[in-house]
Amino acid sequence: MKTYRIGVIGLGQRIAHVLRAMDEVGWKLNLAGYADPRPVGLPILAEGGIAPGKDYGSVAALLKDGPFDLVMIGSPNHLHYEHLLAAFAAGYPIFAEKPIVRTEEETFALARHLADRKTPPLYIGLVMRSMPIVRETIARVDAGELGELVSMDATEHLPPEHGGYLARNWRRKQEWGGSYYLDKVCHDFDIFGRIAKARPRKVVSFGGRKIFRPEREGAARNYSDGSPAYAIRDAGWAGANDAFHSDMDVTDHQTALVEYGSGFQLSFHSNTHVSLGERRWYIAGTEGTLLADLVRNKLMIRRAMEKGKPERIDFATRTADNHNGADQAMAADLLATLEKGVAFPVTPDDSMVAGLTVMAMDRALAESRIVDCAPMWSDYDAARAS
């Protein structure tokens, strides 16, 4: 196996965890260095025994010091488009964290760029595509075990510590992260679109900020065992000190309804402060039903006319971040792509469609209306065909 010379743009916490996963699955890493004014991922690399390489001081200086086998982009979302363009110009393969970009305008501009120019390979870290339980879910749907898909109920409920982190981290601000849905659950909507095999036709969404707000400053700040809540994890770049008094302007709870072009219907419920964490997909078809519990990493499926016990699969791996081995699986997928030419599970188009889907929901929320997605898809397809 070759040694991969890697340059990192934005050495944040997430990209550091991805690098750790790459090391764990057998990558031979030569981390040349990074460009980041506040590399909060350094302690995570140190814990994994990974040398961070040189502090280049700027993106231009890093890219000038090529060649690189891979440029990894882990900067805040509002910088993704700028950093993608710089990496494209340098000509090296790119891995970028999700979401691919932050706005509709950036999405259309990126689509035009990819259509108009020959660009290096681009891989997006929609890590759920690599989760074994997700792969099994997609395989069962594709095999027709549920018949024609009719409807789906999905959830994403975060424990207080995770919600408090989002309320203090840069993701709390739309100007940096986009929306809560864009940053946190574009993963899910990527999979939902893949399952539906269609783009959304209509969306509506409701949500707001009821949990992390100054009026609740008297809320308990310790768990029942006395341990502190909300501030255990480093808030990272541009972090706020207090989850309840930050300048957060994204939702801390939100729901959405989606009608796909195939007629498949989806309800999605999310909350950032629950005592019973859950990430669950309930998929109902004309011939069967599938329940995927992504927190406990268990899948259950049964045919509609079957009277016996449902089939159950326990994927065993459990991790505190609920990725349940997906980081390592994605790292293995990326290595297989670079070493053997195996197709990466998710494409830039998949990533842009997932991003636009949640952007439509956020527009529905902001404008208090049902959004017809047809004009958005028309603009996107026109950009892709430019």
pTM assigned to the model: 0.96
Check pLDDT > 80 for residue 115.
yes
What is the model's pLDDT at position 321? 67
Q: What is the pLDDT of residue 348?
A: 98
| DSSP-assigned letter for residue 320 | T
Percent of the chain's residues with pLDDT above 70: 99
Instruction: Decide if pLDDT at 83 tops 80.
Output: yes
In this prediction, what percent of the chain has a pLDDT beyond 90? 92
pLDDT at 249 over 80: yes
Distance of alpha carbon 375 from the chain centroid: 25
For residue 191, the surrounding DSSP H or E stretch is helix 180-196
CB 286, CB 305: distance < 8 Å: no
Q: Determine the Cα–Cα distance for residues 213 and 134; give it in Å rounded to an integer.
A: 35
Specify the DSSP element, H or E, that contains 371: strand 371-372
Which pLDDT belongs to residue 353? Answer: 98
Helix (H) or strand (E) holding 301: strand 298-303
User: 255-294 burial, b if ≥16 CB within 10 A, otherwise e?
Assistant: bbbbbbbeebbbebebbbbbeebbbbbbbbbeebbbbbbb
Domains in the chain, please, with CATH? 3-125 (3.40.50.720), 129-384 (3.30.360.10)
User: What pLDDT is recorded for position 323?
Assistant: 83
* pLDDT value at residue 299: 98
Is pLDDT of 134 > 90?
yes
3-state secondary structure 68-124: CCEEEECCCHHHHHHHHHHHHHHCCCEEEECCCCCCHHHHHHHHHHHHHCCCCCEEE
Q: What is the largest CA-CA distance in the chain?
A: 65
**270 touches 155 (CB < 8 A):** yes
Q: How far apart are CA 272 and CA 88, in angstroms?
A: 36
Distances, alpha carbon 322 to alpha carbons 163, 188, 242, 280, 298, in Å:
14, 13, 24, 12, 12
pLDDT tens digits for range 55-72: 999 999 999 999 999 999
Q: What average pLDDT does the chain have? A: 96
Distance CA 384, CA 1 (A): 36
Centre a 10 Å sphere on the Cβ of residue 206 and count the other Cβ atoms it contains: 14
Rounded Cα–Cα distance for residues 71 and 11 (Å): 12
What would the pLDDT profile of 279-321 be if each residue is shown by its tens digit? 999 999 999 999 999 999 999 999 999 999 999 999 987 776 6
Q: Which residues contact 105 (CB under 8 A, 6 or more apart)?
A: none
Q: What is the DSSP letter of 215?
A: G
Supply 370's token pair: 């049902």
Compute the average pLDDT of residues 207-217. 94
Pairing of strands 253-260, 265-271: antiparallel
**pLDDT tens-digit readout, 28-49:** 999 999 999 999 999 999 999 9
Segment 355-361 mean pLDDT:
98
Say if residue 322's pLDDT is above 70.
no
